[in-house]
Structure 1
Amino acid sequence: MSQLTIKSLLFLFLGLSCIKGFSQDKTNENIPAVWDLATCLQYARKNNIQLKTLRLTTASTKQDKLLAKSALLPDLYGSASQSFNHYNLNTNGSTNAINSSGAYGLSSAWTLYKGGYLQTDIKQKGLAVQSANYAVLTSENDITLQITQAYLNILVDKESIIYNQDLVKTSIAQLGQTQNRFNAGSAAKKDVAQFQAQLAGDRYNLTAAENAERQDKIALKQLLQLPATNDFDVVKPDTVISDQPIPNLQTVQQYALQNRPEIKNAELGVRISGYDLDKAKSGYLPTLTLGAGIGTSYAHDPTYNAFRQFDNNFYQQAGLTLSVPVFTKRQNKTNVAKAKIEIEQAELALENSKTTLALTTEKAYITAQNSQNQFISAIEQLKYNTEVYRIASQELKIGAVNLVNFYQQRNLYVQAMQSYIQAKYNAALAARIYEFYLGIPIKL
């Protein structure tokens, strides 16, 4: 291979690499590195594959509706046939000839009456479109709750990291103080070893908190279906409201039962099944069809002009066909019976959806109440344990504390801080999930 060819291939490869890199940059340039909750929810509604799939299902049901409407119109088909025959003109086979013939026509059929089946089918397909839209809304609600949970998990991790970082700094300072006292002869080597163990434990907990944040970020990226190579972080709000008033349960349940998409969809299921019954009953009624057609034909004849044949053979026909079901081998009776069963199944599904939603909202109400009460208790617990730990830390500085008592107070403070962080975000999440059933968008 010549040097010129090698250089050409090299430049081509570099050019394609640049184009590919530019394409990737263009793909990711609109994806932010830091996300707030509103951006996460908006992005998921637009890009989530499950939602896209459901929207395609909606588009498919719209096509079914258009097809049902088109069934009211007449159809039109064209037909054409052409044939060629080879045969011998003389009996001795000395002369060959090719003969041709053809036929051409148009035909149409128009269903004038089908027992109300066509109009009923249009109405049913229209409800199917609405049902598909409600399925999209139901999935959006589920994804909204999942993303909110994942987002708040990351916020919990971030606070845990901050507080574990503070514990590490405090442990380093306490180890330094104890080391100085040991050097001065006022502390035992065991005391130094205990603070070294405490520092190692705090660093381990800090690493665990950092790993938890990484894992929760991956979980959120999976929900958003972001590329694995994207830098990703979330915005930590200035304040998280965890003690807002909780709406009345009866008000939330009443609104949810009247407006939630899963209930609307179940109600449509009953109506759709009712149309199935109407369509099944139409099988007992006659069908009236109007048919029409035109056509012509010719056959090769040396003594007769083909165009004259087209004119002489031209025909037109129109007629009505009435089809009356007399005996259908129980098909119509079976269709009606099965349609009635489907109605009962749809009614049971609606009842089950209402019961499930009522219990879900009640559970959300209880969870919100308990979470707020736990948050209030966690505040009090942290308040007193912080003060006791502060006093123990001051006594440690002057060497006036028993290390066993100090570690006991420190552990109580750590547990109280962990409980406070978890309770704060649990209360915020529970309240927003409960309000979500009242139609209030989730915000932090």
Structure 2
Amino acid sequence: MNNKTTFFLTAFFLIGLVSFAQTKKWTLEECVFYAVENNISIQQSELDLQNAKIDKNSALGNFLPSLNAGANHSWNIGLNQNITTGLLENQTTQFSSVSLNSSIDIYNGLQNQNRLRRAKLSELASQYNLSKIQDDISLSVANAYLNILFNKENLKVQQAQLVNDEQQLTRSEELVKAGSIPRGDLLDVKATVALDKQKILAAENTLLISKLSLAQLLQLEDFKNFDIVEENLNAEQSATLLEKPQTIYGKALEHRIEIKVAKTNLEVAEKDVKIAKGTMQPSLTGFYSFSTRASYSDRIIGIDGGGNPIVAGPLPLFDQFSDNKGHNFGLQLNVPILNGFSARNNVAKSKVNYERTKNAYNQAELDLERNVYTAFTDANAALKTYEAAVSTLEAREEAFNYAKEKFAVGMMNAFDYNQAQLLYTNAQSDLIRAKYDYIFKEKVVELYFGIPILKKP
């Protein structure tokens, strides 16, 4: 195989890859799962969860004893007392010391236990927050996805209308030549064709903007080549809408993340009260320390017959560490008596925060009840609107077909024909809009009932 052939094969392969990348169409499942993996808000929530896990590890560490080792070596240069003569002399002396300290909380008002329980609850709350953001993003992606489907179908309606009007224009030109209709009707049909082209342009722009919205939600940069699979979704009544709203509310209380978050925050606030009360109780700490030292100075080992000190060099370093070692251990009791009311005020503040969190929990239940009833009512209203739109479209289609027949034989003028056509086109758009509005609102009710938008693979 020569180089020229290799070049053409490589170019053909690369062009094929580019074409595949540009023609890839995303399903709803792919959009939702991709958003969950790449959305910035979800990534931020995952970082919050990591922080909560770190805080839990810190709370576990409070049960362990503290252990610290230290070493020190110093030089004293200048005017110092000579230990052999007792006189002040300019000299350099060296000292080394080693220490080991440890302490452990024996009792501190159960603060460590309550801090650990609080940390576990905070981690759970972070997990709930992450799940809630994932649900919110999934719902937003589904809404944006359905919006694109609606704009695609609406564009097809406008394009089909243009084809029909162009055919009617050709037919009108023939009728004008035959003298069956006046030339003014032909001009009206031409104006209608021009208006159809404007509507198609507007529909294409709307579709592009809806694709941009979903691409940004997915954190995609190349939104111009972004497209979705044209799924044929049916607007059928969900079994969930056959349930009573109070039944849906009862299910929502069991599994909705916002209620779990509010309840967990209430439990965290309760632990904060216990932690604050613990600071008002006596605390008992056990401690232990070990130390030893060594000197590099000469030492006096005795007195000679003339009363003069007998001087010798320093003992070996490790012998001094062994001879000078010491231990210190015991218990320390701390009883808070008066500390500027800080402990008492912290307890009072934690109780106020608990009551505030309790109110937030009660409000979350009220909000959920209102949202469930609102979503249930909206979904049923959207279903009725869709059913009415179906009936309207059937009537408008029949009326338009009748007007088309009358216009074709010159029994209807262009204005009345255009009005019938406009009503038919609007009915098609209204049906598409009602269809996707109902599908989305139906999904919202199913979420409250515990049915996810998509099941994880």
Q: Which of the numbers 98, 105, 113 marks the counterpart of 1:119?
A: 113
What is the number of residues matched between the two proteins? Answer: 414
The aligned residue for residue 253 of structure 1 is 249
The aligned residue for residue 381 of structure 1 is 392
What's the CA shift for 1:96?
Answer: 8.0
Cα distance between partner residues in 1 of 2:118 and 2:258: 18
Secondary structure of the residue aligned to 1:232 is: coil
What's the CA shift for 1:124?
Answer: 0.8
Q: TM-score, normalization: structure 2? A: 0.86
Cα distance between partner residues in 2 of 1:230 and 1:165: 21
Secondary structure of the residue aligned to 2:105 is: strand
Q: Does 1:157 align with 2:151?
A: yes
The aligned residue for residue 315 of structure 2 is 305
CA contact (8 A) 1:101 1:300 kept: yes
Q: Which of the numbers 73, 80, 90 marks the counterpart of 1:82?
A: 73
Secondary structure of the residue aligned to 1:154 is: helix
Cα distance between partner residues in 1 of 2:144 and 2:200: 20
The aligned residue for residue 293 of structure 1 is 289
CA contact (8 A) 1:160 1:418 kept: yes
For residues 33-182 of structure 1, the aligned pairs below 5 Å read 33-87=24-78, 98-182=92-176
For residues 185-200 of structure 1, the aligned pairs below 5 Å read 185-200=179-194
What's the CA shift for 1:116?
Answer: 0.7
RMSD: 2.3
Cα distance between partner residues in 2 of 1:180 and 1:330: 99
Query: Closer, same or farther in 2 for the Cα pair 1:278/1:239, shift >3 Å?
Result: closer
The aligned residue for residue 405 of structure 1 is 416
CA contact (8 A) 2:215 2:223 kept: no
What's the CA shift for 1:228?
Answer: 2.9
What's the CA shift for 1:206?
Answer: 0.9
Cα distance between partner residues in 2 of 1:241 and 1:86: 93
Cα distance between partner residues in 2 of 1:62 and 1:30: 40
Larger radius of gyration: 2
Cα distance between partner residues in 1 of 2:368 and 2:136: 13
What's the CA shift for 1:357?
Answer: 0.8
- Aligned AA (2:165): S
Q: Which of the numbers 212, 216, 222 marks the counterpart of 1:222?
A: 216
Sequence identity, in percent?
Answer: 28
Query: Closer, same or farther in 2 for the Cα pair 1:215/1:266, shift >3 Å?
Result: same
Q: Does 1:212 align with 2:206?
A: yes
List runs of 5+ in structure 1 lacking aligned partners. 1-21
CA contact (8 A) 2:73 2:97 kept: yes
The aligned residue for residue 349 of structure 2 is 338
Query: Closer, same or farther in 2 for the Cα pair 1:30/1:346, shift >3 Å?
Result: farther
List runs of 5+ in structure 2 lacking aligned partners. 1-13, 83-88, 299-312
The aligned residue for residue 348 of structure 1 is 359
The aligned residue for residue 304 of structure 2 is none
What's the CA shift for 1:353?
Answer: 0.6
CA contact (8 A) 2:293 2:320 kept: yes
CA contact (8 A) 2:295 2:314 kept: no
Q: Which of the numbers 280, 288, 291 marks the counterpart of 2:276?
A: 280
Structure 1 window deviating more from structure 2 (81-90 vs 312-321): it is 81-90
CA contact (8 A) 2:212 2:223 kept: no
Query: Closer, same or farther in 2 for the Cα pair 1:253/1:75, shift >3 Å?
Result: same
The aligned residue for residue 263 of structure 1 is 259
Query: Closer, same or farther in 2 for the Cα pair 1:55/1:88, shift >3 Å?
Result: closer
Cα distance between partner residues in 1 of 2:424 and 2:390: 12
Query: Closer, same or farther in 2 for the Cα pair 1:416/1:389, shift >3 Å?
Result: same
CA contact (8 A) 2:141 2:217 kept: yes
Residues 107-133 of structure 1, C-alpha deviation per residue, up to 9 Å, x if partnerless? 111111101111111111110010001
Structure 1 window deviating more from structure 2 (184-193 vs 310-319): it is 184-193
- Aligned AA (1:132): S
The aligned residue for residue 375 of structure 2 is 364
Residues 339-370 of structure 1, C-alpha deviation per residue, up to 9 Å, x if partnerless? 11111101100011111111111110111111
- Aligned AA (1:264): K
Secondary structure of the residue aligned to 2:104 is: strand
What's the CA shift for 1:403?
Answer: 2.3
The aligned residue for residue 426 of structure 2 is 415
Q: TM-score, normalization: structure 1? A: 0.89
What's the CA shift for 1:425?
Answer: 1.0
The aligned residue for residue 322 of structure 1 is 333
What's the CA shift for 1:242?
Answer: 3.6
Query: Closer, same or farther in 2 for the Cα pair 1:30/1:117, shift >3 Å?
Result: farther
- Aligned AA (1:297): R
Cα distance between partner residues in 1 of 2:208 and 2:266: 46
The aligned residue for residue 9 of structure 1 is none
CA contact (8 A) 1:242 1:427 kept: no
Residues 10-61 of structure 1, C-alpha deviation per residue, up to 9 Å, x if partnerless? xxxxxxxxxxxx9xx9xxx999931111111111112111111111111111
- Aligned AA (1:206): I
